[in-house]
Chains A and B, each alone.
Chain A
Amino acid sequence: MTTRIVELRRGILKKNDELAAGLRDRYTTAGVLVLNLVSSPGTGKTAFLERTLTGLKAHGARVAALVGDLETDNDARRLASSGAPVRQINTHGICHLDAEMISHHLDGWELADLDYLFIENVGNLVCPSSYDLGEKIRVALLSVTEGEDKPLKYPTMFNSADAAVLTKIDLAVPCEFNRAEAIKNINEIRPGIRIFETSAKTGAGMDEWLAYLAEERARRA
């Protein structure tokens, strides 16, 4: 028997990365701004997205969403009430979305007819961080009910994010949420990141968020 070392030097997720690069090219060509929303389960991604879709549509923007969950199409049905085209991706036990699932679920959609495409990832602050979906902007969400140190506990996700959104700020006082501490922690993990403080219930902070989306679309899409 001869033993030998073979140098591979290739990415473990090379296939996903290549597919994601292809998706990114498609998005750019179509001029659609794609965002990947990540958070723990229960942060309020769906409520935040509902409000975002409704707000953008009111401004005449063409929007669509893909929403990932292990099971059920509850979120897709909720989001569809905004009038935007929505598709549910059921991962059946897989803890993250990958580029192949996105590619498959985009079938039949004309991307050039969209201004914004939102991808609501599976609620999980660990696994989705490794899987590029070709998005331009990764948004990490954190609710005031979760604790200010969450960015420190899940640094990979917050470090890889392009924008951070604090949700449920209408509950900040009863939850004794320490806003300054949370913002400091996010900045410690991801220096200079843009942070939005929002409530899907009251609409607080949504105007600033929608203005950011419009700016980013004009700049990057």
Chain B
Amino acid sequence: MHELSIVASIVDSVTESLAPYPGAQVKEVRLRVGALSSIVQESLDFCYGIGTDGTALQGSRLVVDILPVIIHCKPCDRDVTLDGVQSFRCPLCGEPSMDLRQGREMDIDSIEIEDEAEVKA
């Protein structure tokens, strides 16, 4: 249940990034989260409402893009996408690989804001 801590980090980070846009309201926050990130989306959604209450993010939509795991297979000499996180073998040749190219991301990709400053201008 570390989703509340995750939400707190998102709030800090987004609030910080709003400095150039005084008075802006956050409408949407988009995350890029790897399949290996151990974030549970239902839990994150639940905590998002609580953790953003009273902040500039209050009432905003949370969109989570889940990225599958990609490993590099040496014998095949290519990056391959895995179906899940139950086996770290190349789906083409069966060779195990720990050369991870994607799957551990926990990033804030972008935010959508309504910029009141622009309206006044």
Interface residue ranges, A against B (CB under 8 Å): 1-16, 94-96, 98, 126-127, 129-130, 152, 155-157, 159-160, 187-192
Q: How far is the CB of B6 from chain A (nearest CB, A)?
A: 6
CA distance A91 to B105 in the complex (A): 25
Closest chain-B Cβ to A81's Cβ sits at a distance in Å of 31
Contact yes or no, B108 A2, CB < 8 A: no
Asked if A12 and B88 make an inter-chain contact with CB atoms under 8 angstroms apart, the answer reads: no
B2 touches A95 (CB 8 A): yes
A156 touches B38 (CB 8 A): yes
Known: A156-B37, A159-B36, A191-B89. 5 other contacts (CB 8 A): A1-B119, A8-B14, A8-B111, A14-B13, A192-B98
Known: A126-B38, A127-B2, A155-B85. A5 touches B96 (CB 8 A): no
Q: How far is the CA of A146 from the CA of B108 in the complex (A)?
A: 36
For this complex, 18 residue pairs linking A to B, each with C-beta atoms less than 8 Å apart, are A2-B115, A2-B118, A3-B114, A5-B110, A6-B111, A8-B111, A9-B108, A10-B108, A12-B10, A15-B9, A126-B2, A127-B5, A127-B38, A130-B6, A130-B37, A156-B85, A188-B96, A192-B98
Min Cβ gap A54→B in Å is: 32
A188 to B2, CA, bound (A): 26
State whether B107 touches A9 (Cβ < 8 A): yes
**Closest Cβ–Cβ distance, residue A125 to chain B (whole Å):** 9
